[in-house]
Amino acid sequence: NSFCTLLASSPKMLGGAFARSVACLARKPGAQVGSKVKHALPPLNSIHVVGVAHDVQTGFLGPSPVTQFSVTTLVANVDDGAPEEYRLTSGAARMRGTAKAKETYAVRCIGEEAAASSRQRVQEGSLVEVEGRLTMNHQQDPTSNTKLTRAFPYIRIRDTYGSVKLLHSKVTQRAKQSVSKN
C-alpha cells in the first residue's frame, strides 16, 4: 500500500533493517489495502531470541491455554574494536566492560497448538530459539490507590504467528548417550 511504499522510500528516516522489512512488505501481493487475497503478514516488531529456557509454567489466560517460560541470553560487548555504528550505546554490557551481560525475556505461548507444542519441547535448561511478537503486558499495582499501570514486555507466540524451536536439551543428549553405550 502507499504507506508501506512511503516508508520504504525513506530509508534515512528509518533504520536500514526496518526499511528493508517495510520494502519487502510493500512488494507482497497480500499487503495492499483492499485486496481480497488473504495473506498473513509478519508483524514488524517480530523478535528472534536464542537462549536457555527456565521457569517453565503452564496455565490459562481466560479460556486459552498458556505455556510461559523465561529465556536468558548472553550479550557480548562489541565496543572493543568495532566501528562506531555497531557499538553499543547503552545497556548492561557497556557497564560491565568486556564481560558478557545477561538479558532475560518472558515468553508466552498462547492458544491450544502453541501452548501444547512448546510444553512438549521446552524443558528447564534447554537451549531454544524463540520467534514471536514483542508485546507489553500492562499491570496495575494492587497495593496502590492510584490507577497507574506498569508495562512489562514479553514475547507473544500465538497459534497463527511465532515458533519455539528446541536447539539442544540435556535430556535428549543423555538419551543419545545411553543409546550409544548399548
In angstroms, the CA 19 to CA 115 distance is 33
Which residues face 138 on adjacent strands? 151
Give me the percent of the chain exceeding a pLDDT of 90. 29
Contact 4, 41 (CB under 8 A): no
In angstroms, the CA 124 to CA 31 distance is 39
In angstroms, the CA 67 to CA 2 distance is 39
Query: Coil, strand or helix: which one is 32?
Result: coil
Residue with cell 508466552: 108
Domains (range + CATH), the chain? 1-37 (no CATH), 42-181 (2.40.50.140)
Who wins on pLDDT, 10 or 59? 59
Q: What is the pLDDT of residues 8-57, one digit of tens each?
A: 444 444 444 444 444 444 444 444 444 444 445 555 678 899 999 999 99
Q: Which of 163, 160, 172, 170 is nearest to 50 (CA)?
A: 163
